[in-house]
Copies of this chain bind each other. A is one copy, B any other.
Amino acid sequence: MRKQPRQVRSRQMVERIVAAGRSVLVEDGYDAFSTNRVAAAAGVSPGSLYQYFPDKTAILEVVVDRYSEETAERVAAAMSDRIGGTGLAVVRDIVDALLTALEADRALLRVVSEELPLARSRARRDTLERRISELAATYLLARPEHSRRPNAPMATWVTVLAIETIAIRWVLDQPAIERDQLIDEIVALVGGYLVS
């Protein structure tokens, strides 16, 4: 942020810009995400935009960060709720929550995970993935009796990666698989792997 918006007017403008960024991204794709376009969509001049954002990517970052944060929050909530639970029922609930969170905004998920070059910038990659990994690690480490895998961090990595990918791809590609069936399969996959 180049400058803090102090008055109500400017804070609303910043909001309009972020909202416009999100909608340009969703409706026209990343290629159309130009500063002029976002400004126009926000009903704002290009110059105004640069009073609060240092450059184009800063706008993108806010949009993406908000989405990641929001999604991660939902999944994390489901995981926290179930942190005391036992067995595969926990996995089931978490996968369910993950799917629900991802289904909330398919269009944005598509852009974020398929078009964005920023999503791959190593550094700030996947708030979502990191937070879920941490929570999963907590769960797995807290209940070693549930895992016959010797190497816990690696098991966590494999599990989280597999679940995350399958969930995202199912939401985006919508293969001919029922939601409940999918959850069964994922539970079977990690169940056979982790639980004795």
Binding site for B on A (CB under 8 A): 30-31, 114-115, 117, 120, 149, 151, 154-155, 157-158, 161-162, 165-166, 169, 175, 177, 181-182, 185-186, 188-189, 191-193
Contacts and interface: CB of A to CB of B under 8 A. Distances in A.
Given A117-B31, A120-B114, A189 B162 contact: yes
Contact of A157 (B115, B157, B177): B177
A89 B88 CA distance: 28
A177 B193 contact: no
A151 B175 CA distance: 13
Nearest to A165: B165
Contacts of A30: 117
B177 A154 contact: yes
Q: A interface, by DSSP: helix, strand, loop or mixed?
A: helix
Nearest to A188: B193
Contacts of A117: 30-31, 115
A165 B185 CA distance: 17
A162 B143 CA distance: 24
A188 to B, nearest CB: 6
Contact of A193 (B169, B175, B189): B189
Given A154-B177, A157-B175, A161-B169, A149 B193 contact: no
Contacts of A161: 165-166, 169
A31 B116 CA distance: 12
B154 A185 contact: yes
The 9 closest A-B pairs by CB, nearest first: A192-B192, A114-B120, A165-B165, A162-B162, A189-B193, A192-B193, A158-B185, A154-B177, A161-B166
Given A158-B166, A162-B166, 20 more contacts: A30-B117, A115-B120, A149-B188, A151-B177, A151-B181, A151-B185, A154-B177, A154-B181, A154-B182, A157-B177, A158-B186, A158-B189, A161-B166, A161-B169, A162-B162, A189-B193, A191-B192, A192-B192, A192-B193, A193-B193
